[in-house]
Chain A
Amino acid sequence: MTNHTTTDPRFDYDLDCSGLLCPLPVYKASLALRELAPGEVLQLVTTDPGAIEDIPALARQVGDTLLGFERRENDQIFWIEKGNRS
């Protein structure tokens, strides 16, 4: 995981998975990422503590890049840049 905590990365699509447990944040994030073009960024908000490990795993598995991660109160916020894949 990277340590970008300065300013929020620019993002192209915002997905709120608050209140959802595994596997829904991964499932919904994977669907959202499919719709993005390479280089576009998804901002994802989760509350499931498992997502802290799950979302980086999703990014690794599909070949996208986790640009940043931040906790704000109960929320976990991820920024994922879609890689060069279809």
Chain B
Amino acid sequence: MTDQNGHDRRRIALIASKGTLDGAYPPLILATTAASLGWEAGIFFTFFGLDIIKEDRFEKLKVASLGNPAGPVHFMPNLLGALPGATAGATAIMKKWMSDANIPTVPEFIDIAQELGVRFFACSTTMGVMGVEEKDLIKGADIAGAAAFLDFAGDADVQLFI
């Protein structure tokens, strides 16, 4: 079956730009779902989104307690989100919600995505700017610039910036 763009499978190209817990889930959920539907899927991890595929960071992604009026501690004045421990508290609540709802953790989702063949692009500019080396990344991520991602995204049926 060939689609209107002349390739055999539908394709989704995502940009993950946020290094927060709530920023990590949408691209991982969309990519794993797309792969489950038989689509090709790829995620370009850029700027703080690169934390999602950094070995020392991806288990420690957090939820913002300040400037996040919809966050898990919305019952408190948002200003209190600046207090020490507020981010950790918001993150702990969010993680409990996710775990109670049987949602896989970010590292588990990354495993699922990789098993399904989702391509991970690590933004080389971000790596240069933030001093990230290849050994800091999870295995199986391709270091790439914007052109390589656009080469993949240009043939995609769905492109989203998250």
Contact = CB atoms under 8 A, between A and B. Distances in A.
Contacts, number: 37
What size tier do the contact residues of chain A reach? 10 to 19
**Which range contains the number of B residues in contact with the other chain?**
10 to 19
Nearest to B37: A61
B102 A57 contact: no
A4 to B, nearest CB: 24
Contacts of B112: 27
A21 B102 contact: yes
Secondary structure class of chain B's binding surface, majority of residues: loop
Nearest to B31: A23
A27 B101 contact: no
B32 A27 contact: yes
Nearest to B109: A23
Contacts of A37: none
Contacts of A24: 102-104
Looking at A20, A24, A63, which has the most chain B CB atoms within 10 Å of its CB?
A24
10 contacts: A20-B102, A21-B102, A22-B29, A22-B33, A23-B36, A27-B112, A29-B36, A57-B37, A62-B37, A62-B38
Given A23-B36, A24-B103, A26-B36, 17 more contacts: A21-B101, A21-B102, A21-B103, A22-B33, A23-B29, A23-B32, A23-B33, A26-B33, A26-B37, A27-B32, A27-B112, A27-B116, A29-B36, A31-B36, A58-B37, A61-B37, A63-B1
